[in-house]
Amino acid sequence: MSDQNPVFIPGPTNIPDRLRRAMQVQTQDHRSPAFVNTLTPVLAGCLTVFGASEAEIITFPASGTGGWEAAITNTLSPGDTVLVARYGMFSHRWIDMCERHGLNVQIIECPWGSGAPADKFEAALRADTAHKIKAVLVTHNETATGVRSDIGAVRGAMNAAAHPALLMVDCVSSLASMPFEMDAWGVDIAVAGSQKGFMLNTGMAILAVSDKALAAMDSATLPRTFFDFRDMLTTNAKGGYPYTPPLQLIYGMAESLNMLFEEGLENVYARHTRLAEGVRRAVEAWGLRLVAQSPELYSDTVSAIYVPDGFDSNALTEHAFATYGMSFGVGLGEMNGRAFRIGHLGSLTDAMMLSGLATIEMAMADLNYPVKLGSGVIAAQDCYRKTAKPVLTEKAA
């Protein structure tokens, strides 16, 4: 029966029944004239979720990692310099990918638990008077540490330095859960995936690409075939795909967008903030500490939580899974063994969240953590009771 438990990993997230049903469809011929009616609304809906008006939406049958690769290979050439701050596992992996592609990566090392350092970006960009830096890469929501960075501040730093580099943002674990403003932040490429805020299974990388980034393709010489933006745009314009599309995921995405717009994006973001706040109150009641260094960095999609000295966070997540059939995120990289993560994004309600908090509390009590059983649940209940909105609409009532 434990397969009915929700997951509390920060993606892939719980897939609502409505989306599972939407994907249970017979194969459609992607070369038929009808395919355009399937794909076009999905591209238009994604544009809204990215907070963009003009960008091109490009989907690939891939995961977020494929999206990173598409972003760099379409716009950069071997030896180009990119500026990146490393403050967690995902910023680290994007750096690693850039290095493997022969890019010159200028890294700003930051403590894990901090976010994108706009001031340091500005200093580096001002120092680059020859404009060797071709792109600034930022992880919006560092899933390993539960840190949300201020992308507007990074754009501000680039403007202050009057630097023409492209701004590429990984919003894999923030899009469709926390506000994202591609236009307002002047983002050139934003990279997301289907398996987090969109509540679907993994398998589709979703990118929003500015005209400036598309123009960079003219001179970019990194090899690309599968991930070629132009091949995708040319075929999409004719209602097709350059190869076999992930059809069921496209159907799922259409329904996911319906769900997000029915709830209203602002309400989706507010729900994530509420759920996250309940988790943060629980962490405080347990006497534990978040990895995120300060409140303005707190992520509304994932909390990374230090275990007390002398405890092993892997033993905790293993015990929760083995005993109660419930999954929580393990600590990644530097945080392995030191912190566990609670994913609170996607299709989640107060009741689901409370079940997760109650379960991890039981697991902590079993392992003799100095945590009072029930304390975190009570703190979260208090938070949810005070901020609850009736779920019955007037009409339904």
Smallest distance, ligand PLP to C-beta of residue 190, A: 12
* Token code pair at residue 143: 């899933």
| Of 253 and 377, CB closest to ligand PLP | 253
Q: Which range, of 78-86, 136-144, 257-265, 376-384, touches ligand PLP by CB under 6 A?
A: 136-144
Nearest-angstrom CA–CA distance, 193 and 174? 10
Task: List CB contacts of 318: < 8 A, sequence separation 6 or more.
Answer: none
Q: Is 90 in the site for ligand PLP (CB under 6 A)?
A: yes
What is the per-residue DSSP string for 292-351?
S-SGGGB-SSEEEEEPPTT--HHHHHHHHHHHH---BBPP-GGGTTTEEEEE--SS--HH
- Can you tell me which residue has the tokens 């001002």? 126
Which of 59, 173, 301, 381 is in the footprint of ligand PLP by CB under 6 A? 173
Q: Which range, of 60-68, 209-217, 283-291, 334-342, touches ligand PLP by CB under 6 A?
A: 60-68
Q: Is 227 in the site for ligand PLP (CB under 6 A)?
A: no
| Of 68 and 306, CB closest to ligand PLP | 68
Q: Is 63 in the site for ligand PLP (CB under 6 A)?
A: yes
| Of 114 and 173, CB closest to ligand PLP | 173
Smallest distance, ligand PLP to C-beta of residue 201, A: 11
Q: Is 73 in the site for ligand PLP (CB under 6 A)?
A: no
Nearest-angstrom CA–CA distance, 100 and 63? 18
Helices H / strands E in the chain, number of each: 14, 12
Smallest distance, ligand PLP to C-beta of residue 11, A: 5
Is residue 86 annotated as involved in ligand binding?
no
Residues 29-45 as b/e (b if ≥16 CB within 10 A, e otherwise) read ebeeeebeebbeebbeb
Strand 104-109 vs strand 302-306: parallel, antiparallel, or unpaired? unpaired
Which of 6, 51, 115, 193 is in the footprint of ligand PLP by CB under 6 A? 193
| Of 332 and 383, CB closest to ligand PLP | 332
Beta bridge partners of 208: 57, 190
Q: Is 65 in the site for ligand PLP (CB under 6 A)?
A: yes
Nearest-angstrom CA–CA distance, 234 and 241? 9
Q: Which range, of 167-175, 210-218, 242-250, 346-354, touches ligand PLP by CB under 6 A?
A: 167-175
Residues 1-30 that bind ligand PLP (CB under 6 A): 11
Nearest-angstrom CA–CA distance, 21 and 252? 8
Q: Quick check: 195 and 201 in contact, CB under 8 A?
A: yes
Beta bridge partners of 8: 328
Q: Is 328 in the site for ligand PLP (CB under 6 A)?
A: no
Given the rule CB under 6 A, which residues bind ligand PLP?
A: 11, 63-65, 90, 139, 141, 143, 170, 172-173, 193, 202
Residues of the binding site for substrate:
341
